[in-house]
Amino acid sequence: MARIKMVAGNWKMNKTLQEGVALATELKNDVKNPNCAVVIGTPFIHLATVAELLKDSAIKVAAENCADKEKGAYTGEVSAAMVASTGAEYCILGHSERRAYYHEDYAVLAEKVKLALANNLKVIFCIGEVKEEREAGKQNEVVKAQLEGSVFNLTAEEWKNITLAYEPVWAIGTGLTATPEQAQEIHAYIRSLVAEKYDAQVADDTTILYGGSCNEKNAAELFSCPDIDGGLIGGAALVAEKFEAIIAAR
Ligand code: PGA
């Protein structure tokens, strides 16, 4: 099984429902036979509408988060079962913004991953170091701890539904992209950790995306690296032509 190449968008807290529908409609009309899997991560309130809109298209839909509890008295939360009931097929978890601003730690993320998988969602699990950790040369340690803390408890069978996204926090939304060399080096390291934990075949089949100021100008060079299987795109996913150019670069 050759590993899946993918370009995924992460809209974050952008776009009203109407704006989101307009963007999804544009993508649906333009992205007919992509060379890779295409996923868009939207706010919860968009999911049902956008999933319905895209149901016969080449584009899959992801939530950007889900609750760490199954159901019940958790005001304002959205469960993995609710996400799945919209027709969304993926859930982005472990994004650095969730870790930093909403204090999601390894244990909470492990629960979220477990619940997402139990509800048949595929998970795009994000890892990556902050600037100080990169400057101190600790990036390998950081991503290893993030994987061990939240996803290396999964069975090899469960792992088939995990896509990893390496996103150096210093590159997210900053215009400071990791160089292809920096990204390739750590992607290869991450793949070696998966091989150590599972086996070489599992590692070879694992899709590892790069995220962090990936755009229509630098995508082709990043994607040409052997261990970079695609991208998780924030800002450039909010404009159809830019996102489509990134898909075309994959
Ligand atoms: P960016 O965001 O492309 O705007 O840097 C990427 C992400 O946070 O997933």
CA angle 234, 238, 240 (to 5 degrees): 125
Query: CA-to-CA distance for 140 and 158, rounded, in angstroms?
Result: 24
Low-confidence ranges of the chain (pLDDT < 70): 1
3 state DSSP class of 161: coil
Q: Convert the pLDDT of each residue in 30-82 to its tens digit.
A: 999 999 999 999 999 999 999 999 999 999 999 999 999 999 999 999 999 99
CA 188–ligand 1 middle distance (angstroms):
21
Q: What is the pLDDT of residue 1?
A: 67
- Residue 15 contacts residue 27 (beta carbons within 8 Å): no
Nearest CA to ligand 1 atom 6: 234
3 state DSSP class of 2: coil
Q: What is the pLDDT of residue 175?
A: 87
Q: What is the pLDDT of residue 56?
A: 94
Whose CA is closest to 194, among 168, 160, 232, 222? 160
Which residues are designated catalytic?
Answer: 95, 167
Find tokens 């996103």 and name the residue.
167
Query: CA-to-CA distance for 92 and 76, rounded, in angstroms?
Result: 18
The CB of 235 under 6 Å from ligand 1? The reply is: yes
* CB neighbours of residue 118 within 10 Å: 13
Strand residues in 55-109 grouped as ranges (E): 59-63, 90-93
CA 231–ligand 1 middle distance (angstroms):
9
Q: What type of residue is 55?
A: K
Q: Convert the pLDDT of each residue in 142-157 to its tens digit.
A: 999 999 999 999 999 9
CA 171–ligand 1 middle distance (angstroms):
8
The CB of 229 under 6 Å from ligand 1? The reply is: no
Whose CA is closest to 249, among 239, 229, 234? 229
Closest atom of ligand 1 to CA, residue 233: 3
The CB of 206 under 6 Å from ligand 1? The reply is: no
Nearest CA to ligand 1 atom 3: 234
Query: CA-to-CA distance for 73 and 207, rounded, in angstroms?
Result: 36
- Residue 62 contacts residue 124 (beta carbons within 8 Å): yes
φ, ψ (nearest 5 deg) of residue 72: 120, -150
- Residue 236 contacts residue 215 (beta carbons within 8 Å): yes
Query: CA-to-CA distance for 166 and 203, rounded, in angstroms?
Result: 15
* pTM for this model (two decimals): 0.98
Nearest CA to ligand 1 atom 9: 234
